[in-house]
A and B are shown apart, each in its own frame.
Chain A
Amino acid sequence: MSSITSDITAAAPQSRTGSWDWWLLGVTFGLCGLGLLMILSASSVMADQNYGDALRFVTRQIMGLGIGLAAAVTALVVPWRWYRTRAHYVLGASALMLALVWTPLGHGAKGARRWLDLGPLNIQPSEVAKVAVILFASHYLAKNAHKLKDLVGGVLPLLGLCGIPIFLTFIQPDFGSTVILCGLVGYLLIVAGMRTLWVMIGGTVAVAGLASLAVLAPYRIRRLASFTDPLENASGDGYQVVQGWIALAQGGLFGQGLGNGIAQRGFLPEPHTDFIGAVIGEELGAIGWLVMVACYGIVLWRGTVLASRAGGLYGNLLAGGVTTLLAVQAIINLGVIVGWVPPKGLVLPFVSYGASAVVVHVLCIGLLLRVGLESPARRTV
Chain B
Amino acid sequence: MISSLLQQLALTFGRPKNAKDARGQAILRTKGIALAFGLILSGVGVRGAALCMSPHEKVVDANDLQRWGRVRLTAPRGDILDRDGRALATTVVTPSIVIDPASIDDDERATVAADLAEILGRDIESVLAQLEQPTRYARLGRDVHPTVADAIRRYPHRAVWVERTRKRFYPEENLAAQILGFVDADGNGRSGLESSLNDELAGGTVILQRRRDRRGRGVDASEFDPDTSAGHIVSTTIDRDIQRAAERALAHVVERSAPKSATAVVIDVQTGDILALANAPVFNPNAVSRNPQSRRNHAVQDWFEPGSVMKPFTIAAAVEAGAVTEDSMVNCEAGYWRTGGSRIRDDHPKGIITVTQVMKYSSNIGSAKLALELGPEAFIDSLRAFGFGQRTGVPLPGELAGQIRHPDRIRTIELANTAFGQGMTATAMQLAMGIAAIANDGVLMKPRLITAVTDNDGLPEWTQEPTEVRQAVSPDTAAQVSRMMQAVMEEGGTGRAGRIAGYRVAAKTGTAQKAHQGGYGEARVSSFVGFLPAEAPEVAIVVMVDEPSKGSRYGGTVAGPAFSELGAATMRALGIAPDLELLDDSVEEPIDVAAVADLDGISMEWAGEGWRVPDLSGYALRDVLVGVQGAGLSLELDGSGHVVSQVPAAGTIIEPGQSVSVVLR
Contacts and interface: CB of A to CB of B under 8 A. Distances in A.
Contacts of A187: 33
Interface residues of A, number: 58
A234 B65 CA distance: 12
A281 B14 CA distance: 43
Contacts of B22: 145, 193, 313
B214 A266 contact: yes
23 contacts: A145-B22, A190-B29, A190-B33, A193-B16, A195-B15, A234-B62, A246-B59, A249-B52, A266-B213, A281-B52, A286-B52, A289-B48, A290-B45, A297-B38, A300-B41, A308-B27, A308-B30, A313-B23, A317-B26, A323-B34, A324-B33, A331-B44, A338-B51
A192 B26 contact: yes
A324 B38 CA distance: 11
Interface in A240-265: 242, 245-246, 248-253, 262, 265
Interface in A185-204: 187, 190-193, 195-196
A316 B48 contact: no
B42 A297 contact: yes
A355 interface: no
B48 A286 contact: yes
Nearest to A141: B26
Given A191-B30, A248-B51, A250-B63, A289 B219 contact: no
A312 B66 CA distance: 56
A191 B29 CA distance: 6
Given A301-B38, A320-B33, 20 more contacts: A193-B16, A193-B22, A234-B62, A242-B62, A246-B67, A248-B52, A249-B51, A249-B60, A252-B53, A253-B53, A262-B67, A289-B52, A293-B41, A308-B30, A313-B22, A320-B30, A330-B41, A331-B40, A331-B41, A338-B48
Contact of A338 (B15, B38, B47, B59): B47
B58 interface: yes
Nearest to A281: B52
Contacts of B348: none
Contacts of B214: 265-267
Contacts of B30: 191, 304, 307-308, 316, 320
B36 to A, nearest CB: 10
Interface of A: 49-50, 145, 187, 190-193, 195-196, 231, 234, 242, 245-246, 248-253, 262, 265-267, 277, 281, 285-286, 289-290, 293-294, 296-297, 300-301, 303-304, 307-308, 312-313, 316-317, 320, 323-324, 327-328, 330-331, 334-335, 337-340
A145 B52 CA distance: 46
Given A262-B211, A266-B214, A308-B31, A245 B41 contact: no
Contacts of A317: 26
A231 B47 contact: no
Given A192-B26, A245-B51, A267 B158 contact: no
A273 B473 CA distance: 89
A248 B63 CA distance: 11
A250 B56 CA distance: 12
A61 to B, nearest CB: 23
A286 B49 contact: yes
Contacts of A252: 52-53
A335 to B, nearest CB: 6
Interface SS of B by simple majority: helix
Contact of B53 (A265, A286, A323): A286
- Please indicate which of the listed interface residues A246, A267, A307, A308 has the most CB atoms of chain B within 10 Å of its own CB: A246
Contacts of B26: 191-193, 313, 316-317
Interface string B399-432: 0000000000000000000000000000000000
B44 A293 contact: yes
Interface in B62-88: 62-63, 66-67
B49 A49 contact: no
What are the 8 tightest A-B residue pairs by CB atom distance, in nearest-first order?
A266-B214, A249-B55, A265-B213, A293-B45, A304-B34, A286-B52, A286-B49, A248-B51
Contacts of A190: 29, 33
A329 B411 CA distance: 106
Nearest to A297: B41
B336 interface: no
Given A245-B55, A301-B38, A340 B44 contact: yes
A245 B31 contact: no
A204 B48 CA distance: 30
A331 B34 CA distance: 12
A50 B158 contact: yes
A234 B38 CA distance: 31
B37 interface: yes
A290 B49 contact: yes
Contacts of B27: 307-308, 316
Nearest to B34: A304
A253 B62 CA distance: 20
B215 interface: yes
B37 A246 contact: no
Given A231-B59, A293-B48, A196 B13 contact: yes
B25 interface: yes
Contacts of B56: 231, 245, 249
B112 to A, nearest CB: 16
B159 to A, nearest CB: 11
A323 to B, nearest CB: 7
Contacts of A277: 48
A340 B48 CA distance: 10
B68 to A, nearest CB: 10
Contacts of A250: 63, 67
Contacts of B40: 331, 335
Contacts of A303: 34
A304 B58 CA distance: 40
A246 B65 CA distance: 11
Nearest to A289: B48
Contacts of A293: 41-42, 44-45, 48
Contacts of B48: 248, 277, 281, 286, 289-290, 293, 334, 337-338
